[in-house]
Amino acid sequence: MAPKAQKQKSSDGNKKTKQRKTKQTLPDREETEPANMENIGHPEIYPLVLTTQTQEIFNCRIDEDVTDGKPYKLIKKEDILADFKNRAAVSDFYPVKKVIQEYPGDELLVVYDKDFRYGLNFYLIGTEEGKENYLNYPEVPEEHEEYKEYIPEDLYIYRPPISKPWVSLGSEKEIDEESVKESAKQITYMISRKRREFGTPIKFRDQNASSVKDAYIECTAYSDKNFIIKQLEKDVGMQVVPNVKDTSTQTKWTYPQNVAIQYYPREFSEEEKEIFGQSKPLINFLNNASISVEIALQQNEIMNTFIDDWKNLAEEEGTFEDKTDTHLKEYQSFTDLHNLAETMVTSVSWHPTIYGLIAVSVAVRLSFEDRVHFSGKLLLQPSLILFWSFSDPIHPQLMLESPDDIFCFKFCPSDPNIIAGGCINGQIVLWDITAHADRIENIKTGGSSSKKVTLKPMFLLEPDSNKEVMYIRHCAVSSIENGHKKVITDIHWLSDTFEINRMGSVFENRNGICCQLVTCSADCTICFWDIRPQKALTPQPVEKKKEESIEIPYDVPSTFLHLDLSWKPFTKIKLSKGETSLDHCPTRVSLSEDNFLYKTQDKVSAQSKAVKTGEIHPYQSLEGGFGNNLKPIEDFCTKFFVGTEEGEVIYTDWKMERDPDTGRMMAKKPVNLYTVHDGAVHTVQRSPFYKDIILTIGGWNLAIWKEGVTTGPLLQSCCAPKRYTAGHWSLTRPGVFYIGREDGYIDIWDLLEKTHEPSQSQNICITMITCIKPWTFSAKQQFIAIADYYGTLHILEIPWTLSHPSANEVSGTSHYFEREVKYLEYVEQRKKIREQEKKEMDLELEKKKSKIGHCLFFCTLTNAD
């Protein structure tokens, strides 16, 4: 049916174009186009009404030309066209005029429609193909077309489609209905903006939709009753169960507990104790137990079984320095550069409490004749005791003035601000530097400003403005007539534990401070002095005192004002040699209680003693008088050692005794006298460790004595190559002492190492050493001050080996001394034995002599050595 479709299409196309134009053209279409059976699928069939006249014209009269057997009639197209001309609109073919005109063939087929199938009695087939089809298939009814369709299926002959003009079959109506057409005209909006606003940033802002009218349209939900269904029935299942819950807690079970508190110890009363004492079981128990207890006690007494021998074998550990270093190291040296005269140092003393302070007494280096010669000049120069401090080697801190050269001086042990010195003229001088105590105590702060140690020439040397060297005048001197007549060679403060009266008896010292001195001088006397004001034994006229009162300068303290120039010793002991007029000339004295100077750790107790009487300085308020109420000390050893200028060591007593002949008080005869040394004894010193061991040095040798051993010295050295001029025990090592020689060497003796010669020798200076004084500041620092003949004071540091004793040194040294004592005893015994032997030998000789002749030859001398 393709060609038909094509034709349809073309006619449809015509229709469509007509449709697009206007809707109103529809009825026009119907006028021009003949109605066809398009709507039943046969667009080529055009129903016609042929009248009888028409039938006659064309020879298609019903039942004559067109019968049932041949219902069609081919009519020529020209006849129809002629008909049109003849009858025009009356012609029956007028409705299909166009079709006829367009009919390509010559003959048209008209078919008699007997049954009026197509509505009219005749129909025209407008297409050649339809004609063909009808002719070929004379059974025209549509039902038969189906059969016809079957038959060609057996032999399908492909007929290429012939394009036919589109025949409208009513499909354009459907398309029209289905197509979307704009019902309303489209509205166009044109929005324009100002040119300058192009591209500007857009600012958006919020706006509440409800605030602006018609900003939004909402469809509010509402409950439409039409759509509400109420549930009138509900199916619910239930189960009834008991509500059970499981919980648990833990509680603390507090249970009562017995607690007892004892706040005082249980004790027995006295009666109960008594009862116990009586009880038999206790006695038995004690008897049994005491046996084993006593065994145990004795075991401990016999031997200490728990000694760690290994540990005891070891030496003390913890050395800070090289142990092999045994030399004294030079630390500092002090020389007085102000003094123009050539001076020598006569005595050195460390300050007992202040670190780094040392006092030196200097004297002019002249012999006796020269002194006499220059006596006028010497008077002008002040004699000084200089105080040197480690912090300032150029300027002495203090200078104590004295009327004449000091040959010995000592700090008072109870109060380091009191210094007593012995002059060359026999006077004792006392200083009180309490006022300047703070100056010397705070030396470090003042000395830091003058750290420069550049040596300037002497005329440029000036004391710093803030550090004026103070000349401190003495505050008391002894009486010239009553004191010593010659140079005082030694001065000592007596210990503060006892005091002596005129008889030499010893009493207890209630003051707690040192108040007595002992001096010995070249005028062969030993004097005891008391610094307390004496009660006037002889009434002196008052006027005389007034005349004698001299005006005292304001800066001199008045501590010893009572003593000034009127000070007398209360006891004098003359060391006479008996019948001869020559007396012993003591150079050094050593009392039994003399070693308090070495005890540096006692300084605290000394200070506390000094401040015992509250704020008042004890020396300011000395009460005079002798022991009226003082208790005498019994069993006090009043003997002491004296070294003389001839080299003798005397052991004598200071207690006076009544001479039976004259009734006067006289000194006792010396107990012992030893001539040991070759020169003047310059050192008589007790060991700091043993109270009864004394070292005496003089001339070219030294000797060690033990008090109580009268046979002789424990040790006497052989002659040294050089003369010994100074000596001192070591403060920390019991077997060590230092000896200074006249050539500036120091000999260090160690008794545990060698006893025949010094263990070490070290050169200190070029000239004679005049004084040696060691001092301990701490466990690590020990210094030794060595003064020489040229006025220089050298401070050296003692190395570890010399300052620290080994573990058994004390016991070793004491054993050594004991051995020496035993040796002396043995020697004594041997002497006796030898004497005995000698006697026997003599006797034998006598016997043998009595025999005649040849017996002499056969005498053999037995040498029982």
Tell me the window of 72-80, 201-209, 268-276, 825-833 that interacts with other proteins (CB under 8 A).
268-276
| 289: Cα within 13 Å, side-chain hemisphere | 6
Rounded Cα distance, 545 and 841, in Å: 77
CB closer to other proteins out of 175 and 297: 297
Instruction: Verify binding: residue 859, other proteins, rule CB under 8 A.
Output: no
CB closer to other proteins out of 24 and 287: 287
CB closer to other proteins out of 201 and 265: 265
Vertex 431 angle, CA 465 and 565, to 5°: 130
Among the listed residues 35, 88, 135, 296, the single contact to other proteins using CB under 8 A: 296
CB closer to other proteins out of 191 and 303: 303
E-strand spans in 228-382? 329-335, 343-350, 357-364
Q: CB of 265: closest distance to other proteins in angstroms?
A: 4
CB closer to other proteins out of 621 and 811: 811
> Whose structure tokens read 């449709």?
19
CB closer to other proteins out of 296 and 779: 296
CB 686 within 8 A of CB 590: yes
CB closer to other proteins out of 49 and 297: 297
CB closer to other proteins out of 277 and 578: 277
Strand partners, 74: 109
Instruction: For the chain, state the CA radius of gyration.
Output: 79
CB 346 within 8 A of CB 790: no
CB 111 within 8 A of CB 72: yes
Number of residues in contact with other proteins under rule CB under 8 A: 28
Rounded Cα distance, 29 and 760, in Å: 162
Instruction: Verify binding: residue 293, other proteins, rule CB under 8 A.
Output: yes
Q: x/- string (CB under 8 A) for other proteins, residues 640-679?
A: ----------------------------------------
CB closer to other proteins out of 284 and 449: 284
Q: x/- string (CB under 8 A) for other proteins, residues 301-340?
A: x--x-x----------------------------------
Tell me the window of 293-301, 316-324, 635-643, 856-864 that interacts with other proteins (CB under 8 A).
293-301
Q: CB of 310: closest distance to other proteins in angstroms?
A: 18
Rounded Cα distance, 198 and 808, in Å: 114
Q: CB of 810: closest distance to other proteins in angstroms?
A: 15
CB 652 within 8 A of CB 671: yes
> Among 443, 560, 571, 556, which Cα is nearest to 506's?
571
Q: CB of 417: closest distance to other proteins in angstroms?
A: 42
Instruction: Verify binding: residue 267, other proteins, rule CB under 8 A.
Output: yes
CB closer to other proteins out of 818 and 828: 818
Q: CB of 812: closest distance to other proteins in angstroms?
A: 17
**How many other C-beta atoms lie within 10 A of the C-beta of residue 654?**
21
Instruction: Verify binding: residue 266, other proteins, rule CB under 8 A.
Output: yes
CB closer to other proteins out of 197 and 267: 267
Do the strands 488-493 and 516-521 form a parallel or antiparallel pair, or are they unpaired? antiparallel
Q: CB of 279: closest distance to other proteins in angstroms?
A: 9
Instruction: Verify binding: residue 294, other proteins, rule CB under 8 A.
Output: yes
Q: CB of 712: closest distance to other proteins in angstroms?
A: 33
Tell me the window of 290-298, 608-616, 716-724, 838-846 that interacts with other proteins (CB under 8 A).
290-298
Question: Which pairs count as long-range contacts for 754-758, CB under 8 Å and 24+ apart, including other chains?
Answer: 755/715, 755/717, 756/717, 756/718, 757/717
Q: CB of 567: closest distance to other proteins in angstroms?
A: 51
Q: Which of residues 130-149 bind other proteins (CB under 8 A)?
A: none
Q: CB of 266: closest distance to other proteins in angstroms?
A: 5
Rounded Cα distance, 275 and 301, in Å: 34
CB closer to other proteins out of 307 and 542: 307
Alpha carbon separation from 801 to 327, 746, 763, 764, 805 (Å, rounded):
9, 16, 18, 19, 8
Vertex 802 angle, CA 796 and 808, to 5°: 160
CB closer to other proteins out of 277 and 663: 277
CB closer to other proteins out of 170 and 265: 265
> Whose structure tokens read 């020559």?
582
Q: x/- string (CB under 8 A) for other proteins, residues 225-264?
A: ----------------------------------------
CB closer to other proteins out of 147 and 285: 285
Rounded Cα distance, 791 and 217, in Å: 127
Tell me the window of 133-141, 300-308, 467-475, 687-695 that interacts with other proteins (CB under 8 A).
300-308
- Which stretches of 59-117 are DSSP H helices? 77-87, 97-102
First to last CA, the chain: 182
Alpha carbon separation from 204 to 98, 190, 371 (Å, rounded):
71, 22, 124
Rounded Cα distance, 241 and 674, in Å: 130
Among the listed residues 22, 52, 298, 850, the single contact to other proteins using CB under 8 A: 298
Kindly report the backbone phi and psi dihedral angles of residue 350, in degrees, each rounded to the nearest multiple of 5, phi listed first: -80, 145
Among the listed residues 69, 265, 614, 660, the single contact to other proteins using CB under 8 A: 265
Tell me the window of 291-299, 662-670, 673-681, 792-800 that interacts with other proteins (CB under 8 A).
291-299
DSSP-assigned letter for residue 752: T
Instruction: Verify binding: residue 823, other proteins, rule CB under 8 A.
Output: no
Q: CB of 290: closest distance to other proteins in angstroms?
A: 5
CB closer to other proteins out of 275 and 671: 275
Q: CB of 685: closest distance to other proteins in angstroms?
A: 31
Q: CB of 271: closest distance to other proteins in angstroms?
A: 12
Vertex 409 angle, CA 783 and 443, to 5°: 55
Kindly report the backbone phi and psi dihedral angles of residue 470, in degrees, each rounded to the nearest multiple of 5, phi listed first: -90, 130
> Among 689, 729, 728, 693, which Cα is nearest to 821's?
693
Do the strands 398-402 and 470-472 form a parallel or antiparallel pair, or are they unpaired? parallel
Among the listed residues 59, 101, 290, 621, the single contact to other proteins using CB under 8 A: 290
- Which stretches of 732-808 are DSSP H helices? 800-803
CA torsion, points 72, 78, 82, 83, in degrees to nearest 10?
20
Q: Which of residues 37-56 bind other proteins (CB under 8 A)?
A: none
Instruction: Verify binding: residue 292, other proteins, rule CB under 8 A.
Output: yes
Quick one: 351 exposed, middle or buried, by C-beta within 10 A (0-12, 13-18, 19+)? buried
At 256, list the tokens: 């009562």
Q: CB of 816: closest distance to other proteins in angstroms?
A: 21
Tell me the window of 266-274, 525-533, 599-607, 811-819 that interacts with other proteins (CB under 8 A).
266-274
Q: x/- string (CB under 8 A) for other proteins, residues 269-288?
A: ----xx-xxx--xxx-xxxx
CB closer to other proteins out of 304 and 628: 304
Q: CB of 282: closest distance to other proteins in angstroms?
A: 6
Dihedral sign (CA 430, 436, 438, 444): negative
CB closer to other proteins out of 242 and 277: 277
Contacts of 375 (CB under 8 A, 6+ apart): none
Contacts of 449 (CB under 8 A, 6+ apart): 464, 466, 467
At 681, list the tokens: 């004894």
Site residues, other proteins (CB under 8 A): 265-268, 273-274, 276-278, 281-283, 285-290, 292-294, 296-298, 300-301, 304, 306
